Amino acid sequence: MSDLDCVVIGYNEGDFDGYRAMCESAGPRSAEYQIFRKEHLVVDGRPVPWLEAFSLLRNKVTGRSDRYHVGEVANLATLYLANFLSRHGLCAEPVSLFSAELDRLADLLDRRPAVVAITTTFYVNILPVVPIVEFVRAHAPSAHVVVGGPLIDNLCVDGITEVVQDLFFAMSADSYVLESQGEHALVEIVEAVRGRSDLSTVSNVVLCPDGESWQLTRKRPENNDLNQASIDWRSFPAELIGPTAQTRTARSCAFKCSFCDYPSRAGALATASVDTVRKELRAMAELGVRNLVFVDDTFNVPPKRFKEICRMMIEEDLGLSWYSYFRCSNARDEEAFDLAAASGCAGVFLGIESGDPGVLDNMHKLAQDSQYRVGIQRLNERGITTFASIIVGFPGETASTVGNTVEFLNETRPTFWRAQPWWANPRSPVYRNKEVFGIDGAGYHWSHRTMSAEEAASQTDRMFDEVTGSVWLPLYDFDFWSLPYLAGKGVGVDELLPMLRLSQQIMRHRDSGSGDPRQLSELERRFEAAVGAVAPAPPRFRYQVSA
């Protein structure tokens, strides 16, 4: 019997050319195509995401085949699940980024693991799952393949319908975990497969016992204790973790914004103790981690606990720079900002969503324009990088409210910003009032009384042109979380800003359709020179070079 019980596979970013084709097929005025246009550059005639452009242009200078990708930061879900299995006496190995670790994954599958678990944290459809299952089947045909995570939860919102039955067959896994946490279900699946016992006794699992119909076993909500399930970082090799790492100190969110269904899926807010956080940070620092990403949905909530964690980090003095989601409305005094800065806060993700009070009310953000303004000012004063995330087109949005958001961004001047058309989630609380707002449709294909998805895309382009006090961040395989990753490679915000300003100019000039081609070529030349001038540490990943 193999010494390896389970391989846990993280993110598969998919094929960018396929993504481009999907966005283009949605139409030139669609939200999908608008997003695509503002997250890619062209290198040697081929559209590529920002970090791939960075990698390819660096390789022209170095002659190497380096691949910089934020997925080099160890996927927290895979580490957490591998650690959870280990705590239950099982041997598990994490794989963070599928496409970049095929050789390592193949070696692990050669060890004939009993189970291969596939996480789906960032997926909105089954397309990224299918090639992972195919790869596993080719290299370890006897392994039991289980898929779990948010994708499965979202697919089954209306039960295991005929459509879901078809999707489960299309993914071709052996079982699916239907539970917002699911850690214990995975443990019991691995134990059952190894012991050749009946999987139907495991709660929260979807099985196909007759080969014709998928059926859910007994439903039993999990409530896993974050202290007992904390990660033993010393069990992972330093080279797997690297200089930048993610961790979490809480599960779920204390707020109920009307565009988000996460709290309803994740349950009540649960937190780890400050002492548990202390132990994890000590172990991470010993491994060589220098940039820390807290993935808690609202790291500075509750405010009292946030201050306690900051004081602990100041006391420990581990040399960590940290990044997190941050809610300005809950940083209620100067002390909160002072403690954040003194404890090593380097950057924060601000879910601003809108600069219009009426739209914020419709979102149930429980935050006021003045709180955002004061919060960004306090963060900027302390040299903390700020990123403002904006939703365009939520019910109540008009051209006038978008103008208010443009004005807000130009006056507050966060370091970075990005806007996206609203993704209409039928599971979100706002759909309880769909008749009130006149919401029709879902995803990026919707309309309501004050705007349509196509109009939201147009207004997002308008913002791209009119926001001048802040720098645009691309989304695809980049986003705010690439900042700590690149900091770990020795590329800081001061070096990134001129490159990102140039890429923003390139996108604006390219998408205008009426610019001088020579000017576009000059901007691209300057961008290539700027990339060539930095000297990042080599990444762990490489492009596959054809023989």
Write down the pLDDT at residue 368. 83
| CA–CA dist 292, 272 (Å, integer) | 17
Q: What percent of the chain has pLDDT over 90?
A: 92
pLDDT at 262: 83
Residue 547 has pLDDT above 60, yes or no: no
Give 507's DSSP letter: H
Are residues 515 and 445 part of one domain? no
Render pLDDT for 174-221 as a digit per residue (tens, 0 to 9). Answer: 999 999 999 999 999 999 999 999 999 999 999 999 999 999 999 999
In a domain, 351, yes or no: yes
Q: What is the rounded CA–CA span in Å between residue 478 and residue 504?
A: 14
Domain with residue 391: its CATH number is 3.20.20.70
Q: Measured on CA atoms in the order 120, 141, 541, 54, is the torsion positive or negative?
A: negative
- Using the predicted structure, report yes or no on whether residue 544 has a pLDDT greater than 60: yes
Q: Assess if residue 543 is contained within a domain.
A: no
Residue 122: predicted pLDDT = 87
The reply to whether 424 and 503 lie within a common domain is: no
Q: Is the pLDDT of residue 21 over 50?
A: yes
Q: Are residues 39 and 181 in the same domain?
A: yes
Position 197, amino acid: S
- Give the phi and the psi of residue 193 in degrees, each rounded to 5: -65, -45
User: Average pLDDT of 513-531?
Assistant: 91
The predicted structure's pLDDT at residue 23? 96
Domain identity same for 211 and 283: no
Are residues 24 and 171 both part of a single domain? yes
CATH classification of the domain holding 170: 3.40.50.280
Q: What is the mean pLDDT of residues 307-318?
A: 98
Domain finish residue from 458, 480, 502 = 480
Report yes or no: 177 and 205 within 8 Å, Cβ to Cβ: yes
Domain membership of residue 541 (yes or no) is no
Pairing state of beta strands 115-118 and 144-148?
A: parallel
pLDDT in tens, 426-485: 989 999 999 999 999 999 999 999 999 999 999 999 999 999 999 999 999 899 999 999
Please check whether residues 49 and 146 belong to one and the same domain. Answer: yes
- What pLDDT does residue 267 have? 83
Domain boundary among 202, 224, 246: 224
- Residue 485 belongs to some domain of the structure: no
* pLDDT of 284 over the 60 cut: yes
Q: How far is CA 286 from the centre of its chain?
A: 26
Question: Residue 96: which H helix or E strand, with range?
Answer: strand 92-97
Q: What domain range includes position 305?
A: 233-480
Question: Tens digit of pLDDT for each residue in 55-65?
Answer: 999 999 999 99
Tell whether the model's pLDDT for residue 377 goes beyond 50: yes
Predicted confidence at residue 271, as pLDDT, reads 96
What is the reported pTM?
0.95
Helix (H, G, I), strand (E, B) or coil at 84: helix
Q: Which two tokens stand for residue 320?
A: 């960590």
Burial of 216 (0-12, 13-18, 19+ CB in 10 A): middle
pLDDT for the residue numbered 263: 82
Co-location of 420 and 528 in the same domain = no
Q: Are residues 412 and 280 in the same domain?
A: yes
Helix (H) or strand (E) holding 497: helix 493-512
Tell whether 408 and 522 lie within a shared domain: no
Please report, as a single letter, which amino acid is at residue 296. Answer: D
Quick one: tokens of 283?
């172990």
Single out the residue of 224, 214, 277, 278 nearest to residue 251, CA to CA: 224
Report residue 69 CA to chain centroid gap: 13
pLDDT band at 516 (very low <50, low <70, confident <90, very high): confident
**Which tens digit of pLDDT belongs to each residue from 156-183?**
988 999 999 999 999 999 999 999 999 9
* 336 and 420 co-located in one domain: yes
The per-residue pLDDT for range 488-515, each reduced to its tens digit, is 999 999 999 999 999 999 999 999 877 7
Please write the tens of the pLDDT for every residue from 101-154: 999 999 999 999 999 999 999 898 999 999 999 999 999 999 999 999 999 999
Residue 429 lies in a domain: yes
H-helix or E-strand spanning residue 175: strand 175-177
- For residues 217 and 130, membership in a common domain is answered with yes
Please give the pLDDT value at position 546: 53
- In this prediction, residue 430 carries a pLDDT of 97
pLDDT of 545: 65
Provide the pLDDT for residue 228: 96
Is the pLDDT score of 250 beyond 60?
yes
Instruction: Work out how many domains the chain is built from and give that number.
Output: 3
| 198 and 286 both lie in a single domain | no
Q: Which residues of 419-456 are buried (b: 16+ CB within 10 A; e: fewer)?
A: bbbbbbbbebbbbeebeebebeeeebebbbebbbbbbb
pLDDT of 261: 87
Q: How many CA atoms lie within 13 A of 466 on its CB side?
A: 17
In a domain, 365, yes or no: yes
